[in-house]
């Protein structure tokens, strides 16, 4: 899977979970029929939001994105559906190439874990899932967003 394919899948998943959460919020606050959509959509969106952020950082490190581009990628996760817009804009700007760190040695300390993940795909996937789980757990400890 290319960096662009991975990024696109996670960006689309983030947008879909935004839609689920917004639908749940409509049911909860407008029709006042049920909270189940917010509970399920909110948890799914939270997990995929964290996965999108982790994916953005991994792709940004591998593709040598600037700090500004990386920050824009992370900020794209906040408004609904903007992750997909960001993905399309990055494709148009040629921001994606092949996985660089599968063939190049890591030049900076921050590249070492990414290179390890990419060169050991199964273990890298386990590490990425573990990272998402830990970060999601920390978010749950902190509590829901203000106004929920």
Phi, psi of 69 (to 5 degrees): -65, -40
Residue ranges per structural domain of the chain: 3-142
Residue 145 is predicted with a pLDDT of 64
pTM above threshold 0.85: yes
Residue 37 is predicted with a pLDDT of 87
Residue 88 is predicted with a pLDDT of 98
Are 83 and 11 contacting, i.e. CB atoms less than 8 angstroms apart?
A: yes
pLDDT tens for the chain, 148 residues: list them: 999 999 999 999 999 999 999 999 999 999 999 999 899 999 999 999 999 999 999 999 999 999 999 999 999 999 999 999 999 999 999 999 999 999 999 999 999 999 999 999 999 999 999 999 999 999 999 987 666 5
Residue 148 is predicted with a pLDDT of 55
Residue 143 is predicted with a pLDDT of 82
């Amino acid at each position: 899977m290319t960096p662009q394919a991975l990024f696109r899948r996670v960006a689309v998943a983030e947008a879909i979970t935004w839609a689920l959460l917004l639908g749940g919020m409509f049911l909860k606050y407008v029709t006042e029929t049920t909270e189940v959509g917010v509970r399920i959509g909110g948890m799914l969106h939270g997990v995929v939001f964290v996965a999108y952020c982790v994916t953005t950082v991994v792709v940004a490190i591998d593709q040598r994105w600037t700090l500004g581009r990386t920050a824009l990628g992370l900020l794209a996760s906040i408004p609904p559906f903007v992750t997909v817009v960001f993905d399309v804009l990055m494709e148009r700007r040629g921001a994606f190439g092949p996985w660089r760190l599968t063939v190049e040695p890591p030049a900076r300390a921050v590249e070492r874990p990414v290179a390890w993940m990419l060169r050991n795909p199964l273990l890298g996937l386990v590490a990425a899932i573990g990272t998402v789980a830990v970060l999601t757990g920390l978010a749950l400890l902190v509590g829901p967003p203000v106004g929920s």
